[in-house]
Chains A and B, each alone.
Chain A
Amino acid sequence: MTSRSTFDRELNDLKQDILRMASLVERSLFLALDSLLSGDPVAAREVITGDDAIDNLQDDIENQCIKLIATQQPMARDLRVIITGIKIMINLERMGDHAVDIARSAMCVCGQMPQKPLEKIPHMARLVQQMVKEGMDAYVHNDVEKARQMCMTDDEVDELYNLTFQDLISYMEEHPQSIGCVVYLLMVARYLERIADRATNIAEDVIYLVTGERQCLN
């Protein structure tokens, strides 16, 4: 084997940084939801301040990718590794922003949220977190099958989103005094649904990375 060791190491560094970014995003999402459900604003504040770290990693990853393209003129799989690296990084960054959105909503409703409408959220949240995790697992292991399966959960999330939406509307009709609070839950449901779409994008990126074929899964 020839003199690729530097390049291979740099590609590996890129992957490690993307995984690091993913774990920060997963953590933000967990904390934001935890804050919402428990009514504890401390976790929400941590998500908001922690977003800078995610953005910094994003810049790092982008610079690494630009440097690799400029210096290595990557071809074939190498090229796909870098291009999907950029795309996954962008999707992660948006997920991080949605986690911040959820954290902000959590802070707005902190201590005033009635228990009943909140019950709609955990199931959807669990599915979405699972999708994010499985998307990154598929990336770690170049696992096309896992990427495909994960996308099926997206249909479930969409359905759940529609149900939640209906339920929350009915709840607000019955409890107009809670509208100011519950409307934030509508938004949270929407953010979760968006995160699931981003996770599906990542699954598509993994499939392209491994097979070279583009597939639309949502």
Chain B
Amino acid sequence: MEVNVENKFVVQNLNLFYKDVQALRSISMEIMKQQITALIGPSGCGKTTFLRVLNRMNDLIEGVRIDGTVLLDDQDIFGPDVDVVNLRKRVGMVFQRPNPFPMSVYDNVAYGPRIHGQKNKSQLDQIVEKSLRSAALWDEVSNRLFKSALGLSGGQQQRLCIARLLAVEPEVVLMDEPTSALDPLSTLKIEELLRDLKNHYTIVIVTHNMQQAARVSDSTAFFLNGDMVEFGPTETLFTRPKDQRTEDYITGRFG
């Protein structure tokens, strides 16, 4: 197997406050290219907040204050010359609940490329097919591309959202509990998909499902009350965690 040890993100001493409340406390970590990094931890520990830092989604929330640095390919994402729209194109996000637009399957996937100026019909056709194939959805929807996306099952909708994201060719895919609304079979399909995707993308996934983190990720970070308690190879973290708090959390000994 090809081992790629390049950084995609380098986070240094990141602090985040919602007004007076500190939600992240001096987080430092490196997210590796073409790896799947899982974020785990109890509700409210800051996983979503951290994920949203990586493509500056928190900018949209009032009263958020951030210090520390986040480098994406060695470039500070908070730097003055950063175009946030472009950042979010490079670093896309998939949410907990599938949120297809109320339009056809085709238009959902073509939406991003169109916004970014792609008008050529045959180019769009190609992008749509390629994205749907990459999201392992093509075979299920190729005969209903022009029907409403809302008629798809939850698992199909979630893969459609992934296809929609891939259509704009991001470098990083952020996923916030992407399978928590799905049945086990759809969940396995998404997990299988993640393994394929990681050959081309850097993936960061928040999950409450520890087995999922163990199954799909290369590295896992355990968050607790805004601190990153432990970060390391997934196998190590789940078989012999170094910190007692990690051990307590993953073995369900936590109050």
Contacts and interface: CB of A to CB of B under 8 A. Distances in A.
B255 A78 contact: no
B239 A212 contact: yes
Nearest to B236: A212
A55 B184 CA distance: 38
Contacts of B247: 76-77
B214 interface: yes
Given A75-B210, A76-B247, A4 B253 contact: yes
Given A75-B214, A77-B247, A2 B255 contact: yes
Interface string B48-63: 0000000000000000
A216 interface: no
A77 B255 contact: no
B252 A4 contact: yes
A212 B240 contact: yes
Contacts of A71: none
A183 B181 CA distance: 70
B252 A3 contact: yes
Classify the secondary structure of A's interface with B. loop
A73 interface: yes
Contact of A77 (B210, B214, B251, B254): B251
B241 interface: yes
B238 interface: yes
A3 B252 CA distance: 8
A76 B252 contact: no
Nearest to A79: B239
Interface residues of B, number: 15
B255 A76 contact: no
Given A75-B210, A76-B247, A1 B240 contact: no
Contact of B254 (A2, A74, A211): A2
A11 to B, nearest CB: 10
B4 interface: no
A190 interface: no
Interface core residue of B210, B214, B251, B253 (most chain A CB under 10 Å): B251
Contacts of B246: 76
A1 B210 CA distance: 18
Contacts of A77: 247, 251
A75 B250 contact: yes
Nearest to A74: B251
A213 B251 CA distance: 19
A80 interface: yes
Interface in A72-112: 73-80
Nearest to A213: B240
B211 interface: yes
A76 B211 contact: no
Interface string B221-255: 00000000000000000111100001100111111
Contacts of B238: 75-76, 79
Nearest to B241: A76
B214 A76 contact: no
Contacts of A80: 239-240
B210 to A, nearest CB: 6
A59 to B, nearest CB: 27
A79 B214 CA distance: 13
Contact of B250 (A76, A211, A213): A76
A132 to B, nearest CB: 27
Interface string A191-218: 0000000000000000000011100000
Nearest to A212: B240
A3 B253 CA distance: 8
18 contacts: A1-B255, A3-B252, A4-B253, A73-B210, A75-B239, A75-B250, A75-B251, A76-B238, A76-B240, A77-B251, A78-B251, A79-B238, A80-B239, A80-B240, A211-B240, A212-B239, A212-B240, A213-B240
A-B CB proximity, top 3 nearest? A212-B240, A75-B250, A76-B247
Given A3-B252, A76-B241, A76-B246, 9 more contacts: A2-B255, A4-B252, A4-B253, A73-B211, A75-B251, A76-B238, A76-B239, A76-B250, A212-B240
Interface of A: 1-4, 7, 73-80, 211-213
